[in-house]
Amino acid sequence: TIKILMDTDPGIDDAAALTMAINDPKIDLKLITTVAGNVTVDKTTKNALKIVRFFNQDIPVAAGAEQPLFKDFEDAARIHGESGMPGYDFPTDLPKPLHKTAVEALHDEIMASSDPITLVPTGSYTNIALLFSEYPEVKSHIDRIVAMGGALGMGNMTSAAEFNVFTDPDAAAIVYKSGIPIVMVGLDITMKALLTNENIEKLQHLNEAGQMLHDIIINDGDHNEKGSAMHDVNTIFYLLHPEAITTKDMWVDVITQGPAIGETVGDIRGAYHDGKTNAKVSVDIDADAFNDWFMEEVKNIKM
Ligand code: BDR
Ligand code: CA
């Protein structure tokens, strides 16, 4: 099994990513930490707890940063709704979050683990940047970071920047300079592998998990006639099916100021960093394989 810690801002696609991580037997999800992003951190924490409760799990949830390191916080409620996970009536008797912060919980979990750990951030990287600044010793205990965020030469927030990196570019810059191997799961693949409307429709007939995902996905503000981008789910797909995603090793820098703030600049020509690389950047995906896998994962959920 692949041992992971997820740092997330549910969020419709975050909820779907959590669904896969919780239910796939090949993934061992040890901890969920939350961050402000799609909605405020009190809401993303509540939403993470709703998913944990929905699947009757006892995976710990720790609340993290309320705002980015330096930049002003801007949510994405226009896409993910006021609650962040609209359209489904989740149980209301929710478990409590841990009495420690996301940074403390991440530190404790990483230092206590004897096997290599993969970090999977699907929101902005504020908690991870704070963790590395406060506890640099954790770095050598992290195997890799498989992060949703960024893009090569496109954006969904500005023409240059993807939402997670745009939300906290300073944190993203710290993560990309951390020295830990990073897999950048960005818009280049997530906008290609849309979950088709045919599959979204089918979800509701699979089981209660499918019904829940269907009900929230149809409320995604970016859902259109082609389907719905399941951005964060691509991280879990990569962990389980790396063969379906093409990556290129390169150096990635993050722009932290100016009109291109939040842009991830991949040195695709290998021109500026003496051949050194800090990331595997996802450049292509088998969209049919992603769709088939997504449906199969949901079908196999036992509740
Ligand atoms: C990212 O932004 C968020 O709105 C999504 O949950 C995803 O993590 C896509 O740019
Ligand atoms: Ca997210």
pLDDT at 80 over 90: no
Ligand 1 pocket member 11 (CB < 6 A)? yes
pLDDT at 108 over 90: yes
Which pLDDT score, from 0 to 100, does residue 274 have?
87
Tell me, using a 6 A CB cutoff, whether residue 76 lines ligand 1: yes
Asked whether the beta carbons of 251 and 273 are under 8 A apart, the reply is yes
pLDDT, mean over the chain: 97
Is the pLDDT reported for residue 22 higher than 90? yes
pLDDT at 51: 98
Query: What percent of the chain stands above pLDDT 70?
Result: 100
CB-ligand 1 contact for 122 (6 Å cutoff): yes
Q: Which amino acid is at 98?
A: L
From the list 10, 11, 19, the residue with the least C-alpha distance to 236 is 19
**What is the atom index within ligand 1 of the atom nearest the CA of 232?**
8
Around ion ligand 2, residues with a beta carbon closer than 5 Å are 9, 11, 14, 122-123, 232
Asked if 5 contacts 210 with a C-beta cutoff of 8 angstroms, the reply is no
- Closest ligand 1 atom number to CA of residue 156: 10
The stretch 63-78 carries a mean pLDDT of 95
| Residue 100 phi, psi dihedral angles, 5° rounding | -120, 160
Does residue 124 have its Cβ closer than 6 Å to ligand 1? no
Q: Quick one: pLDDT at residue 157?
A: 96
**Proximal ligand: closest to the CA of 230:** 1
pTM: 0.98
290, 294, 297, 301: CA torsion to nearest 10: 170
CA 242 to chain centre: 16
CA-closest residue to ligand 1 atom 4: 38
Give the pLDDT confidence of 50-59 residue by residue, as tens digits: 999 999 999 9
Residue of 120, 122, 167, 220 best suited for mutating to test ligand 1, as the one with most atoms within 8 Å of CB: 122
Answer whether 50's CB lies under 8 Å from 88's CB.
no
Q: Report the residue among 163, 167, 190 best suited for mutation to probe ligand 1: largest number of ligand atoms under 8 A from its CB.
A: 163
The CB of 163 under 6 Å from ligand 1? The reply is: yes
User: pLDDT exceeding 90 applies to what percent of the chain?
Assistant: 93
What are the Cα distances from residue 254, in Å, to 8, 139, 149, 151, 166? Answer: 20, 20, 11, 11, 10
Evaluate: CB of 162 within 6 angstroms of ligand 1.
Answer: yes
99, 107, 231, 241: the catalytic one is: 231
For 117-164, write each residue's pLDDT tens digit: 999 999 999 999 999 999 999 999 999 999 999 999 899 999 999 999
Q: How far is the CA of 188 from the centre of ligand 2 (A)?
A: 16
Task: Report, as an integer, the average pLDDT of 10-15.
Answer: 97
What's the pLDDT score for residue 47? Answer: 98
Q: What is the pLDDT of residue 56?
A: 97
Q: What is the pLDDT of residues 244-294, one digit of tens each?
A: 999 999 999 999 999 999 999 999 988 888 889 999 999 999 999 999 999
User: Reduced to 3 states, what is the DSSP secondary structure of residue 31?
Assistant: strand
ipTM score = 0.99
Active site residue 99: no
Backbone angles phi, psi at 163, to 5 degrees: -55, -50
Ligand 1 proximity of 141 Cβ (cutoff 6 Å): no
> Residue 303: what pLDDT?
84
